[in-house]
């Protein structure tokens, strides 16, 4: 086992879920609410995890987390939390259940509405240490939400907003790569490219944070080295372990902020008429964003090439596009089912997203529209 304390505490290694009973008790939870989704329940992971913890075996379960967390789902989970007299949350799954649990932890201890705490609406300073404790158990390797300070939630009016605070970081993350064994190839690829994007965007962010940059580069090297193995063989334990670490490292570097990929994927993920997987969106958008940012980040692009042992003349955008193709992922927004008519509105929304501020090159709505068009077909 590796015990890591960096922003929060992480228990990392195969078999770590065996200690969940003590972990839950250690956070002072006598009656936690489990937040997950139907896919995790159907896969048998909840039953496996509950087998290691009497408290979790007896805990109320919220399994209605949607693909992209919503305010409605957060309010429904909050109602169950209060009705059952819960005193903390255990989030089990990918980024969606973990982000939803963060929203519930916030609403359980802070007066609503949820919108009041959105980062772009001045909500960061309104979030206090009173946030209910969250223990995160990731079952995918991508979002890094288990150590991230943000929750992305789609409000009732369709806006997908970020809620950001160090108090939203889970108190403990239990990262057991055995929980990802057998994950479908498409989901392994999509979540893995999410981790790749996190490491690249946080590294390119203009905020000064050398420790985070070192972590981002190391995470990127791990992800690139093992993502294809993990996709090809769901039982490859080394690949699963390395991908979970890469995802964790991407999450640890969120302190630097993200960039244009996420400024675009956030509003795209909030669309109600089409369901778009976040990691797949990032994979499709990343090449166009890399081309846009290249003039503003030449030294860092060179450092990325060096870290990945790529020739100095390598075009990073083309290299990423080729990787996405080898992984069997969609190569365009059109292939994902996005209607072209939404592009101008998404471009405008991207300028208002909190991730836009830390893109290495300032981007206007016209710039974002060009990136969308380049990613469309």
The conformational region for residue 58 under phi > 0 = left, psi -120 to 50 = alpha, else beta, is: alpha
Q: Residue 2: which residues within 8 A CB-CB, separation 6 or more? A: 10, 12, 13
The Cα 351–Cα 111 span in angstroms is 29
Work out the widest C-alpha separation in the chain, in whole angstroms: 60
- What does the mean pLDDT of the chain come to? 95
Residues 6+ apart with CB under 8 A from 368: 260, 263, 264, 346, 347, 348, 350, 351
- What pLDDT digit, counting tens, does each position of 158-204 carry? 888 899 999 999 999 999 999 999 899 999 999 999 999 999 999 99
Rounded to a whole number of angstroms, the distance between the first and last alpha carbons of the chain is 45
Q: What's the Cα-to-Cα distance from 208 to each of 162, 212, 255, rounded to whole Å? A: 22, 9, 10
pLDDT category of residue 2 using cuts at 50, 70 and 90: low
What pLDDT, in 10s, does the model give residues 350-368?
999 999 999 999 999 999 9
Question: What domains sit in the chain, N to C, each tagged with a CATH number?
Answer: 2-179 (3.40.50.1970), 183-376 (1.20.1090.10)
CA distance 66 to 291: 33
Residue 3 pLDDT exceeds 70: no
Nearest to 247 by CA among 273, 218, 270, 275: 218
C-alpha dihedral sign at 56, 61, 66, 69: negative
DSSP 141: S
Determine the distance from the C-alpha atom of residue 206 to the mean position of all C-alpha atoms in its chain, rounded to a whole number.
21
pLDDT(6) > 80: no
**Bridge pairing between strands 8-12 and 172-175:** parallel
Supply the pTM of this predicted model. Answer: 0.93
Do residues 138 and 247 make contact, with C-beta atoms less than 8 angstroms apart? Answer: yes
Contact 60/34 with Cβ under 8 angstroms? yes
Dihedral over alpha carbons 357, 359, 360, 362 (to 10 degrees): -60
| pLDDT-derived band at 145, boundaries 50, 70, 90 | very high
Please give the structure tokens belonging to residue 51: 């087998």
Contact (Cβ atoms closer than 8 angstroms) between residue 81 and residue 104: yes
12-27 pLDDT, tens digit per residue, is 999 999 999 999 999 9
């Amino acid at each position: 086992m590796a015990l890591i304390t960096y922003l929060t505490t992480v228990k990392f290694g195969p078999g770590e879920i065996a200690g969940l009973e003590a972990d839950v008790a250690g956070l002072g939870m006598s009656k936690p609410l489990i937040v997950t989704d139907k896919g995790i329940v159907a896969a048998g992971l909840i039953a496996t995890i509950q087998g290691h913890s009497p408290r979790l075996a007896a805990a109320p379960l919220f399994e209605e987390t949607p693909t992209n967390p919503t305010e409605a789902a957060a309010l429904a989970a909050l109602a169950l939390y209060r009705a059952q007299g819960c005193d903390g949350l255990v989030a089990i799954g990918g980024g969606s259940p973990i982000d939803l649990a963060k929203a519930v932890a916030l609403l359980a201890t802070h007066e609503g509405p949820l919108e009041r705490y959105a980062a772009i609406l001045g909500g960061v300073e309104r979030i206090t240490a009173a946030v209910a404790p969250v223990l995160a158990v990731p079952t995918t390797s991508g979002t890094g939400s288990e150590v991230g300070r943000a929750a992305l939630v789609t409000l009732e009016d369709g806006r997908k907003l970020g809620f950001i605070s160090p108090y939203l970081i889970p108190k403990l993350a239990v990262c057991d790569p055995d929980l990802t064994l057998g994950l479908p190839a498409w989901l392994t690829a999509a979540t893995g490219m999410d981790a790749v994007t996190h490491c690249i965007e946080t590294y390119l962010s203009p905020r000064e944070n050398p420790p985070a940059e070192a972590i981002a580069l190391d995470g990127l090297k791990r992800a690139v080295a093992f993502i294809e193995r993990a996709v090809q063989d769901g039982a490859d334990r080394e690949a699963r372990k390395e991908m979970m670490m890469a995802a964790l490292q991407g999450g640890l570097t969120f302190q630097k902020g993200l960039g244009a990929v996420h400024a675009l994927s956030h509003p795209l993920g909030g669309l109600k008429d089409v369901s778009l997987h976040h990691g797949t969106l990032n994979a499709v958008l990343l090449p166009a964003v890399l081309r846009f940012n290249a003039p503003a980040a030449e030294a860092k692009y060179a450092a990325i090439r060096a870290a990945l042992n790529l020739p100095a003349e390598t075009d990073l955008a083309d290299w990423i596009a080729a990787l996405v193709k080898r992984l069997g992922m969609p190569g365009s927004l059109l292939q994902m089912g996005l209607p072209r008519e939404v592009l101008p509105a998404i471009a405008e929304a991207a300028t208002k997203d909190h991730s836009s501020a830390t893109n290495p090159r300032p981007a206007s709505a016209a710039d974002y529209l060009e990136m969308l068009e380049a990613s469309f077909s």
